[in-house]
Amino acid sequence: MSDALLDREPQTEPEITDALVAAHGLKPDEYQRILALIGRTPTLTELGIFSAMWNEHCSYKSSKKWLRTLPTTGPQVIRGPGENAGVVDIGDGQALVFKMESHNHPSYIEPYQGAATGVGGILRDVFTMGARPIAAMNALSFGSPDHPRTRALVSGVVAGIGGYGNAFGVPTIGGELRFHAAYNGNCLVNAFAAGLAEADSIFYSAASGVGMPVVYLGAKTGRDGVGGATMASAEFDASIEDKRPTVQVGDPFTEKRLMEACLELMATGAVISIQDMGAAGLTCSAVEMGDKGDLGIRLDLERVPVRETHMTAYEMMLSESQERMLMVLRPEKEAEARAVFDKWDLDFAIVGETIPEDRFLVLLDGAAKADLPLKALAGSAPEYDRPWVPSPAPAPLGPLPGIAPAEALSRLMASPNLASRAWVWSQYDHMVMADTVVRPGSDAGIVRIHGTEKAIAFTSDVTPRYCRANPERGGAQAVAEAYRNLCASGARPLATTDNLNFGNPEKPEIMGQFVGCIKGIGAAVAALDMPIVSGNVSLYNETDGSAILPTPTIGAVGLLASLDEVIRMAPAAGDTLVLLGETTGHLGQSILLAELFGREEGDAPPVDLAAERIAGEFVRAAHREGLLTAAHDLGDGGLAVAAAEMALAADIGARLDAAEDEPLGWFFGEDQARYLVVTTAPGPLLIAADKAGLAAQVVGRVGGGAVTLGEEAIPLADLRAAFEGGLPRLMYETPAVES
């Protein structure tokens, strides 16, 4: 007997009660909608299917209204939102496929596997479209450094990302790491992946053709992850530990084989459409394929390869076991396709077919376990125009504290939110495939396109403090900083993916944060020509009613025509430091106040999108013309932190001139649209900036063995010890707790 035909015991259908409906995350009015659609009480399997398709994680029922307002098109866009990943043209018949999505709830419950399977899921989103992954990133947010669970979460998540990504063999080339008390009960683990494909060989998920075989590919189905998507669409409470069984378990070596098998299969011409099995597993993949192709789907579950006995239809339809795909196959290619998967020692099973009716028919041993209108499952999910209220204007910033700039810089560089991330990225393989040009620790990671002169830059950014104080400014700033990171690396920004992490959208103040951030993001990507081509929404990031900071993470990609366009961050002795952009000394919501004084006060900095574009284009042009040799954008910590990071990157000192007044604002203000650049010819650079309508001034020189702010010097060795020791101190000098 085959694995797909393991013994099953007869199953008794339970009574569908209000409690059972509620346990599936469905509101009473949503259940009434289901009854109206199908004209009867659903079976348990049908209830589970509706729960999977109509939860927040899969249906975007609270966010669709606002997501439609985002700019998603442009001449560089081959495919925007709606597929497994976005696709942009990078010239020469090549395309970049990329996306970011979250695995927050699973990672809090089971840090290693939650993070690992987040990496696996985003990689499948990329190679299911026919692209070979070339780069990965992650954006991580954890609770306060002194919270008893933070250390265990950081350790487990980082190990999970490294364990899966390293074994699979994709370079992790950048990302983010932050700590804040708002994430104490709900960490964020946002995974990004990008892959390279031929522009005319992209594979999509829409099924086509009646009577075409529906094929299950990859690993066997188990019970891991049952109800995962529904779990990720609700707040946490005291029952968190009870949700451990809903976390999936991943196998990167199976994933690697699955990728190679899929790419080989795609080359045979056998694939009509293909979809990875992620959230909601077999249910979501089958429904989405049928819906996009205006077809029905019949599944025969007794043919599904399983690894556990007595699995029910409910379990098979809702399992989120990893490393699985669903494909619609050209029937004449069945033998050829099967041979490919046999070679890679992976399951290949015809589990159904496409049908002309608007019907999702699920059979087990000939008995109908679900018989539903397919379009209704996909297209009739609730869509809410949630009530929202604008975030209140923040109170004005009060009197500034007194602290010497040198002391402030030393303490900031040692703080968990600014210290070196080497402890994290040293656990990731960032050189596998041998195409990494710029490693983690710079404004953007850069990977060359093998066999060409081109390279791709990757970055991710958001400042949640700004988003809470002023959501619209914060959303725009996240895009603007991603734009600056790409420009500071020499790359022409192409497009973005977003991962919108918020609390409970049923609270008008949380929904107001979401709306404000969307408005800011939309304005920024339009002004900077960086359309949103893919993304993910993660809501209900709350525990016991306490929400995370609004965290709309922006992942951005840029193109370099050749490696000659790469701008490094490290200066050389004798070079001149030039500040580009206007400085007012904005300290509202600054990291200086937050980290050193526990004050998150004032407004987020203004964002002038026209100024951002002028400055970014100038930096790239000035480098091409030989007017600058290194660059770094100004973000958290302003001018002083940027200069310190450049000095540490080059292992050489730097001197910054002091301001006549307001030294804290001058050194640590977080005004936007600014870069610190390095030049051997300050005169021509200043003239060129003036012609471009860009403020520019000489602010210091490179050299010596210290970072000097005015008259205060910090030995470079002391600064390095503070900077590089920050995270190890957090991880090894605080008491360990059980995860």
Active-site pick, 57, 180, 430, 586: 57
Task: Provide the CA 704 distance to its chain's centre, in angstroms.
Answer: 40
- Residue in this structure with the two tokens 């028919």, named with its chain if needed: 361
* Whole-number Cα distances in Å, 132 to 421, 556, 561: 27, 19, 20
Is 617 in a helix, a strand, or coil? helix
What is the spatial distance between Cα 636 and Cα 589, in angstroms, rounded to a whole number? 10
* Whole-number Cα distances in Å, 446 to 169, 479, 674, 712: 17, 19, 21, 35
Is 596 in a helix, a strand, or coil? helix
- Is 105 among the residues known to form the active site? no
Cα distance from N-terminal residue to C-terminal residue, the chain? 41
Q: Hey, what amino acid is at 503? A: G
What is the spatial distance between Cα 174 and Cα 135, in angstroms, rounded to a whole number? 9
Backbone angles phi, psi at 356, to 5 degrees: -75, -25
Q: Give yes or no for a contact between 568 and 111, defined as CB atoms under 8 angstroms apart.
A: no
1: Cβ contacts below 8 Å, ≥ 6 apart: none
What is the spatial distance between Cα 672 and Cα 689, in angstroms, rounded to a whole number? 17
Both tokens assigned to 258: 């699955």
Of 210, 309, 293, whose CA–CA distance to 9 is shortest?
309
Which residues are registered as beta bridge partners of 329?
A: 271
- Is 57 among the residues known to form the active site? yes
What is the spatial distance between Cα 429 and Cα 409, in angstroms, rounded to a whole number? 31
Using CA of residue 564, residue 565, residue 571, residue 575, what is the dihedral sign?
Answer: positive
What is the spatial distance between Cα 163 and Cα 567, in angstroms, rounded to a whole number? 31
What is the spatial distance between Cα 130 and Cα 118, in angstroms, rounded to a whole number? 20
Of 518, 207, 577, 486, whose CA–CA distance to 391 is shortest?
518
Is 190 in a helix, a strand, or coil? strand
36: Cβ contacts below 8 Å, ≥ 6 apart: none
Counted residue by residue, the chain has a size of 739
Is 37 in a helix, a strand, or coil? helix
Active-site pick, 24, 103, 180, 430: 103
Both tokens assigned to 380: 């009739």
Tell me the three-class secondary structure of 664-724, residue by residue: HHHHHCCCCCCEEEEECCHHHHHHHHHHCCCCEEEEEEECCCEEEECCEEEEHHHHHHHHH
DSSP type of residue 248: -
670: Cβ contacts below 8 Å, ≥ 6 apart: 586, 587, 589, 590, 591, 605, 634, 635, 636, 637, 638
Task: Provide the CA 374 distance to its chain's centre, in angstroms.
Answer: 30
- Residue in this structure with the two tokens 């990965």, named with its chain if needed: 136
Both tokens assigned to 348: 């290949």
What is the spatial distance between Cα 407 and Cα 595, in angstroms, rounded to a whole number? 13
What is the spatial distance between Cα 621 and Cα 692, in angstroms, rounded to a whole number? 11
CB count within 10 Å of CB 611 equals 20
* Whole-number Cα distances in Å, 262 to 214, 245, 534: 15, 29, 22
Q: Give yes or no for a contact between 57 and 279, defined as CB atoms under 8 angstroms apart.
A: yes
Residue numbers annotated as active site: 57, 103
